[in-house]
Structure 1
Amino acid sequence: MGLRPSLHAAAKAYANLPVSVTALYDKINHADINVIRALIQGSQYRLGPVMHAMQPTQAASVEGYRLCIVDGNHLPASEKRLKPLRQFRGAALPGHSLVVYDPDCGLVIDILPCEDAHAQERACMAPLLERAQPGELWIADRNFSTKSVPAGWHRRGSAFIVREHRRTPNPTAGGTPHVCGRVDTGLVYEQSVSMNTKEEGQVPLRRIELQLDKPTDDGDTVIRLLSNLPTSTFSAEDIATLYRRRWRIENMFQRLESALNSEMTTLGHPHAALLAFGVPCWRITCSQ
Structure 2
Amino acid sequence: MIRALFERCLDPVKLDAWFDANSEQQYTRNLLFYSLFRLMTKVVLRQQTSIYAAYPADKESIPVSVTSVYNKLNGLSIETSAQWVTYGAEQASALIDELDGAREPLLPGFRVKVLDGQLSGRPVSTGSKRLATHKAAPLPGKTLAVFDPPKELIIALYPCEDAYTQERALLGAGLADVEPDDLWLADRNFCTHGFLRGVVDRGGYFLIRAHEQVRFDPLEPMREIGQTETGSVAEQWVELTGKEGRRVRLRRIRIRLNEPTRDGDDRIDLFTTVPAQSADAVYLADLYLERWCVETAFLHLTKALRCEVDTLAHPPAALFAFACAVITYNVLSVAKAALRVAHGEEADNLSGYYMARHISNTAESLCEIVDSEDWTVFHTLAVVDFAAWLLAQAERTKLSRYHKAKRGPKKPAPQRSHDRTKPHVSVARLLAAREKKSP
Q: Same fold (TM over 0.5)?
A: yes
Q: How many residues align?
A: 287
Name the counterpart of 1:151. 197
The farther-off stretch of 77-86 and 28-37 is: 77-86
TM-score, normalised to structure 1, is 0.93
Structure 2 gap ranges (5+): 1-40, 335-439
The separation in 2 between residues aligned to 1:199 and 1:151, in whole angstroms, is 11
Q: What is the letter of the counterpart of residue 275 of structure 2?
A: P
Map of 1:101 onto structure 2: 147
Task: Please list the CA deviations of residues 191-233 of structure 1 after superposition, one character each: whole Å capped at 9, or x if unmatched.
Answer: 2111123578100111101000001111111101001111122
Q: Which moved more, 1:121-130 or 1:18-27?
A: 18-27
Normalization by structure 2: what TM-score? 0.62
Give distance in 2, aligned partners of 1:46 and 1:197: 39
Contact 2:131 2:138 in 1 (8 A): no
Whether 1:269 and 2:314 are equivalent positions in the alignment is: yes
8 Å contact 2:230–2:259 — kept in the other structure?
A: yes
CA offsets per residue over residues 142-161 of structure 1, 9 Å max, x none?
11011111111111110110
Asked if 1:118 is matched to 2:164, the reply is: yes
- Tell me the distance in 2 between the aligned counterparts of 1:148 and 1:161: 15
Three-state SS of the structure 1 residue aligned to 2:67 is helix
> SS where residue 138 of structure 1 aligns?
strand
189-198 vs 74-83, greater mean Cα deviation: 74-83
The answer to whether the 8 A contact 1:151-1:200 is kept is no
Bigger mean CA offset, 99-108 vs 230-239: 230-239
Give the counterpart of 1:55 among 74, 92, 100. 100
- Report the CA distance shift for 1:15/1:55 in structure 2 as closer, same or farther (over 3 A): same
Q: Indicate the SS of the match to 2:288.
A: helix
Moved more, 120-129 or 15-24: 15-24
Single out whichever of 88-97 and 78-87 deviates more from structure 2: 78-87
Work out the CA distance in 1 between the residues paired with 2:131 and 2:71. Answer: 21
Tell me the distance in 1 between the aligned counterparts of 2:134 and 2:76. 28
Change (3 A) 1:44 1:29: same
Q: Which residue of 2 aligns with 1:242?
A: 287
The code of the aligned residue for 1:19 comes to V
* Amino acid of the structure 2 residue aligned with 1:48: S
Higher percent of residues as helix: 2
Q: Which residue of 2 aligns with 1:5?
A: 49
Give the alignment of 1:1-288 within 5 angstroms. Answer: 1=41, 2=43, 3-16=47-60, 17-55=62-100, 58-81=103-126, 82-83=128-129, 86=132, 88-167=134-213, 169-197=214-242, 201-287=246-332, 288=334
- 1:78-107 CA distances to partner (integer Å, 9 max, x unpaired)? 223245754743122111111101010111
Higher relative strand content: 1
Q: Percent identity?
A: 34
Deviations 1:127-173 (A, max 9, x none): 11111011111100011011111111111110110111222x12222
Q: Compared with structure 1, are the counterparts of its residues 199 and 137 closer, same or farther at alpha carbon in structure 2 (3 Å cutoff)?
A: farther
How far does residue 76 in structure 1 lie from its aligned partner after superposition? Answer: 4.0
Which is bigger in relative contact order (C-alpha 8 A, separation at least 6)? 1
Query: Match of 1:100, as an amino acid?
Result: V
C-alpha RMSD over aligned residues: 1.9
Gaps of 5+ in 1: none
Higher mean displacement: 85-94 or 206-215? 85-94
Distance in 1, Cα, partners of 2:322 & 2:205: 29
